[in-house]
């Protein structure tokens, strides 16, 4: 069965960086785009960007341009999201997600990681 398993809780100081991992299993990793979204406590979702593991192409939300880097390791079927220059308002749950349909970003996201809580506090 398809699974996305994320790394654990992170606590960082303002100005630091965090790198969240998302390990995929149960499907051919290179066939499906991985999206990253975040959800601040009690808030709705905010799309951060996506990466195509097939060719490494990325598309970042304008808000995060210059501060986020998404990458994949196809040898281990893992995706990564690094966010730099952390601020207190970056405190949120961060999720990776996979679409229903291969090679597209518009099909609805049928599989999600369990979420990684990143807390930014001095």
Partner 1 sequence: DIQMTQSPSSLSAFVGDRVTITCRTSQSISTYLHWYQQKPGKAPKLLIFAASSLQSGVPSRFSGSGSGTDFTLTITSLQPEDFGTYYCQQTESTPTFGPGTKVDLK
- Binding stretches for partner 1 (CB under 8 A): 35, 37, 44-47, 61, 95, 97, 100, 105-110, 112-115
Task: Give least dist CB 3 to partner 1, A.
Answer: 12
Output 17 or 57, the one with its CB closest to partner 1: 57
Burial class (CB in 10 A: 0-12, 13-18, 19+), 82: middle
Output 21 or 35, the one with its CB closest to partner 1: 35
Q: How many CB atoms lie within 10 A of CB 37?
A: 21
63 in Cβ contact with 80 (< 8 Å): no
Output 15 or 45, the one with its CB closest to partner 1: 45
Task: Tokens for 77, please give them.
Answer: 């079927």
Output 74 or 114, the one with its CB closest to partner 1: 114
Task: Give least dist CB 108 to partner 1, A.
Answer: 3
Q: Long-range CB contacts (< 8 A, 24+ apart) of 51-55?
A: 51/79, 52/103, 53/29, 53/79, 54/30, 54/103
């Amino acid at each position: 069965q398809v699974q996305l398993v994320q790394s654990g809780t992170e606590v960082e100081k303002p100005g630091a960086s965090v790198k969240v991992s998302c390990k995929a299993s149960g499907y051919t990793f290179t066939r499906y785009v991985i999206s990253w979204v975040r959800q601040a406590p009690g808030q709705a979702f905010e799309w951060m960007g996506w990466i195509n593991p097939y060719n490494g192409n990325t598309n970042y939300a304008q808000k995060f341009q210059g501060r986020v880097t998404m990458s994949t390791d196809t040898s281990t079927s893992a995706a990564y999201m690094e966010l730099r220059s952390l601020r207190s308002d970056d405190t949120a749950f961060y999720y990776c997600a996979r679409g229903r349909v291969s090679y597209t970003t518009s099909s609805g996201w049928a599989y999600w990681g369990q979420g990684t809580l990143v807390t930014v506090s001095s």
